[in-house]
Amino acid sequence: MFESLKGGSVGVILDKAQQMTREFNDTIPTIKALGLSVSNVSLGMGIVPEIGATLTGSVEALDQQRLKDMIERHRENKIVTTILEALGTASRLKDQLSQIGFKGIRVDVKLGIPPKVEVGLLTKTDSEVSQRS
């Protein structure tokens, strides 16, 4: 995808972008195993390329023990580990705010330098929100 821009420091950055793309692609089976779906994949081109994606699913994906087991299994993949650790943190927050009644989760992943993962706890499932629109 980025071959035409390789060369010099741009080449180093693009190599990193390709590595992140491969790691994210390797993350997809783990994401799907948690019951999350991938949507809104985007590409941002700038000095540092960025790949973004939104993951959505049920709060049932936030089982702390399952997340810990998956982190141990995928320790070598920094992207999947970062996503799983963010989900683990969201799981603890969900438990502390149990009176709100969260039903869904939205994970916004930005793969760039540095990568960023933001988890939103939703009071309605993604399908309930879609039906109202």
Number of H helices, E strands in the chain: 4, 4
| 121, β-bridge pairs | 105
SS3 114: coil
Could you list the beta-strand ranges (E) of the chain: 37-44, 50-58, 104-111, 116-122
The per-residue pLDDT string of the chain (133 residues; one tens digit each, 9 = 90 and over) reads 445 444 566 677 777 778 878 888 988 999 999 999 998 999 887 777 788 999 999 998 888 899 999 999 999 888 899 999 999 999 999 999 989 999 999 999 998 888 899 999 999 765 454 444 4
